[in-house]
Amino acid sequence: MMKSIMRTAVALVLCLSLASLVVAAEKTQKKGKAQNDVQSMSQEKQIKLALSAAPPRIAKHAAVLVFGEDGKLKEGKPGTNGFTCIPTVMNLPDPDPMCMDAAVKQWWEDLMANAPKPSNTAPGIAYMARGGSHWENGKRVVMKEEPGAKIVKEPPHWMIMWPFEAKMSMIPSAPNPSGVYVMFDGTPYAHLMVYQDPMKMK
Ligand SMILES: [Cu+2]
C-alpha cells in the first residue's frame, strides 16, 4: 500500500515538472518572435510606440490599441480626433507603428479578418512615421510571406487606402525613385504608398 502511494506521488511530481518544462519552453519560443516582444512591452511602452507613428498634433488626440496578454488588441487610450494608433503592423523587430483614420481602421480590420475585400466606402489616411516593412518577391511587392520572398524596409511614409490600380493610374506598382507606388496592386487591398515623412507635415 505504502509503495503504491509512493509510486503515485513520484509519478505526479514527474508529471508536474514535465508540464512546467513544456510551459517554460513555450514561453522561450514566444519570446523569440517580435510580435511577442511588442506584446510583452508594458501598456505604457506600447502606447508610446503607437503614438510615434504620427505627428504630435495628431497623436495627442488619437486613440491607442495595445496588445493584451492574450495577444489581442484592446483599448489602451481613448481618443477624440477619429484616429487610432497601433504599436506594430508587421510584428517584426524593426518598430512599425501606424496611426489610421476610421476608414483605414475598417480596412485594417477587414485585412486582419481575411475578408475578401475591404469594406471602407471612402478613402482612408494612415501614417507610418517610423517606416515599416513589406514582403518582396523579385520586384513584386506581395501581401504575405511566400517562397523566395524577402522583407524589405520602408522609409517613413503615409498612405491612402483606396483600390488604386497601377494600370489605370499609371503609377508604378513597386517602390521607385519618385517615392510613390501602388502597394498590393491588382488586389482589393491595393493602396497608395507615399514616401514622405509625416513628421514634416506641419
Ligand atoms: Cu502599404
Q: How far is the CA of 6 from the centre of ligand 1 (A)?
A: 62
**Is the torsion defined by CA of 25, 31, 34, 39 positive or negative?**
positive
Residue 94 — very low, low, confident or very high, per pLDDT cuts 50/70/90?
confident
pLDDT, one tens digit per residue, over 36-64 is 588 889 999 999 999 999 999 999 999 99
pLDDT, one tens digit per residue, over 162-195 is 999 999 999 999 999 999 999 999 999 999 999 9
Q: How far is the CA of 136 from the centre of ligand 1 (A)?
A: 12
Expressed in angstroms, the distance from the first to the final Cα of the chain is 82
The pLDDT assigned to 120 comes to 98
Q: How far is the CA of 193 from the centre of ligand 1 (A)?
A: 5
User: In this structure, how many other beta carbons lie within 10 angstroms of the beta carbon of residue 69?
Assistant: 8
Q: How far is the CA of 160 from the centre of ligand 1 (A)?
A: 9
Average predicted confidence (pLDDT) for the chain: 89
Cell of 133: 516593412
The pLDDT assigned to 145 comes to 93
Question: Any idea how long the chain is?
Answer: 202
The pLDDT assigned to 93 comes to 83
Backbone angles phi, psi at 191, to 5 degrees: -155, 165
Residue 4 — very low, low, confident or very high, per pLDDT cuts 50/70/90?
low
Q: How far is the CA of 202 from the centre of ligand 1 (A)?
A: 22
Cell of 139: 520586384
Residue 92 — very low, low, confident or very high, per pLDDT cuts 50/70/90?
confident
**pLDDT of 111 strictly over 60:** yes
Domain boundaries in the chain? 1-31, 40-200
On whether the CB atoms of residues 53 and 72 are closer than 8 A, the answer is no
Residue 10 — very low, low, confident or very high, per pLDDT cuts 50/70/90?
low
> Residue 192 forms beta bridges with which residues?
160, 182
**pLDDT of 116 strictly over 70:** yes
